[in-house]
Structure formats: structure tokens, C-alpha cells
Amino acid sequence: MTKIVKQSARALLFDEHRRLVFIKRTRPGREPYWVSVGGGLEPEDADTEAALRREVFEEVGGRIDRVRQILLVTDDLPGGVGLQHIFVARLVSMDPGRRTGAEFTEPGRGTYEVVAVPATHDALAGIRLLPPRLAEFAQENLHGLIALVYRDDEAPRQDGTP
């Protein structure tokens, strides 16, 4: 039997303008890359969705709704397997000034910039989103992901049309 040695919860977050909100990671000596908001499960988390909600608040000072798990990414790790529970959600509020965590105060870890990227195939192709499996999934399912989060009458489109 394979042992689960690490679990995380991450989300493709859509803001009120139907943009995707990511963290752009810039680390000394490395090419920048983008990651979805999220992180590891903690013992006090009731479940993966609770972990995701905590991580969204810690990383972007945000609150989410319309949360749905859409993908499970597995990683071979020493001693077992890592599970990345990937969700899609609507970001209903965000205040990056309320972020918390050591990653924001330790200069050697690089920068964690909150960025909004248009939810288009071209925009996604123009960033290095990790892990690659998530980037592929987002490209392949972009329109369906938007449909899970928004009704047509709710938010302006990228091009400004109603």
C-alpha cells in the first residue's frame, strides 16, 4: 500500500473580472514562475477545502466561494506519494496587505507577487505555471472552469462586453 506523505490544497481563482489570480514566484538565481494559491494541509484543518480557505486568506488576504475540486495531482515523494487537491473557486474579496506567513518576511525566499492574468489561452501560454499538469489542465478546460464559477449575467468579460 502506498503511503500519503504530503497533501496540499490549491485553487485556480477567478476574480470579479474573470481573470485568474496567481502567485508569481521570483527566487534568486531562478527564472520566475507562477503557482496557484494554496499550500499544505495542517493538522487543524478539518478537510482539504478548509485548508484551501485558510491558504487563500494567508496568501492573498482573500475569501472564496463556489469552491469545487477539479483535479488531483500525484507526486512521487520519498517514502510515499504527495497529493495536490486542485480546486476552482471565485475570489469574492482580496486584500494582499493582510497576507501572513514566513514566506513574506524571509528575504532569502524571494518574492511572492499576487498577479491577475486574463483567463485566455494566450495569457496562460505566456506564463510558466507550475506544476505542468495544472497548466495543461487549465488550458484544456478553461471555458468549463469559467462556467463552473460564473453565470453569464454575473461578471464582465475580459473584453469589457456585458
Calculate the alpha carbon distances from 104 to 48, 55, 78, 151 in Å: 23, 13, 28, 35
Q: Is residue 159 part of a domain?
A: no
* Whole-angstrom distance, CA of residue 87 vs CA of residue 72: 9
The predicted pLDDT at position 161 comes to 39
* pTM for the model: 0.88
Q: Which amino acid is at 135?
A: A
52 and 38 in contact (C-beta within 8 Å)? yes
Q: Is residue 138 part of a domain?
A: yes
Q: Is residue 83 part of a domain?
A: yes
Taking only the tens place, the pLDDT of each residue in 92-107 is: 999 988 988 666 666 6
* Whole-angstrom distance, CA of residue 121 vs CA of residue 109: 30
Half-sphere exposure in the Cβ direction for 11 (13 Å, CA): 32
Taking only the tens place, the pLDDT of each residue in 106-137 is: 667 788 999 999 999 999 999 999 999 999 99
* Whole-angstrom distance, CA of residue 88 vs CA of residue 151: 15
Kindly state the cell numbers that stand for 119: 483567463
Q: Is residue 161 part of a domain?
A: no
Q: Is residue 158 part of a domain?
A: no
Q: Is residue 157 part of a domain?
A: no
**Residue 33's domain spans which residues?**
4-149
Tell me how many domains the chain contains. 1
* Whole-angstrom distance, CA of residue 48 vs CA of residue 87: 10
Q: Is residue 144 part of a domain?
A: yes
Give the chain's residues under pLDDT 70. 101-107, 153-162
Q: In angstroms, what is the C-alpha Rg of the chain?
A: 16
DSSP string, 16-45: TTSEEEEEEEE-TTS--EEE-EEEE--TT-
- In 3D space, the residue among 21, 16, 8 whose CA is nearest the CA of residue 60 turns out to be 21
- In 3D space, the residue among 46, 43, 133, 124 whose CA is nearest the CA of residue 84 turns out to be 133
Q: Is residue 162 part of a domain?
A: no
- Where residue 118 sits, what CATH number does that domain have? 3.90.79.10
